[in-house]
Amino acid sequence: MGTLRNSVHLIGRPGSDPEIRTFGDRKNARFSLATNDKHYNDKMELVTDTQWHHVVAWGKTAEQVERFVRKGLLMAVEGKLQNRTYEDKDKNKRQITEVLIDEFMLVEKMSNDEEQKNDAE
């Protein structure tokens, strides 16, 4: 049960292509992932609630994210929550919660154009 202490599993769609940065010899990938929850309200109308999650990957996982993750492709991610603080441009202290992923899986296939682009890289 030790692995359940800080474990996150999400299925959703990236809101944009990942932002890739390199720090020394390590890559970092960041993107937002939208997850949807559907339920009926008091008027029996189907309502969809969308939550946005900040997703971060490092190293080999970031390299794979760079290669395969694209805006709108349905994917599953697995990782853990991490909190960090930073100062914004106005010197205000901010806190953010991110999902640090160590694994992901594409649930939908890329288009043929995307596959050919990745094969060429």
Q: What is the pLDDT of residue 1?
A: 60
Q: What is the pLDDT of residue 108?
A: 86
Give, for all 121 residues of the chain, the pLDDT tens digit.
Answer: 666 789 999 999 999 999 999 999 999 999 999 999 999 999 999 999 999 999 999 999 999 999 999 999 999 999 999 999 999 999 999 999 999 999 999 998 766 665 555 554 5
Q: pTM for the whole thing?
A: 0.82
CB 63 within 8 A of CB 39: no
Helix (H, G, I), strand (E, B) or coil at 64: helix
What contacts 77, CB < 8 A, 6 or more positions away? Answer: 8, 9, 10, 11, 12, 33, 55, 99, 101, 103, 104
Rounded CA-CA distance 102/54 in Å is 14
Phi and psi at residue 63, in whole multiples of 5°? -65, -40
Helix (H, G, I), strand (E, B) or coil at 50: strand
Q: What is the pLDDT of residue 3?
A: 63
Its domain, for residue 60, covers 2-120
Q: What is the CATH number of the domain that holds 65?
A: 2.40.50.140
What is the tally of structural domains in the chain? 1
Dihedral sign of CA atoms 77, 80, 83, 87 in order: negative
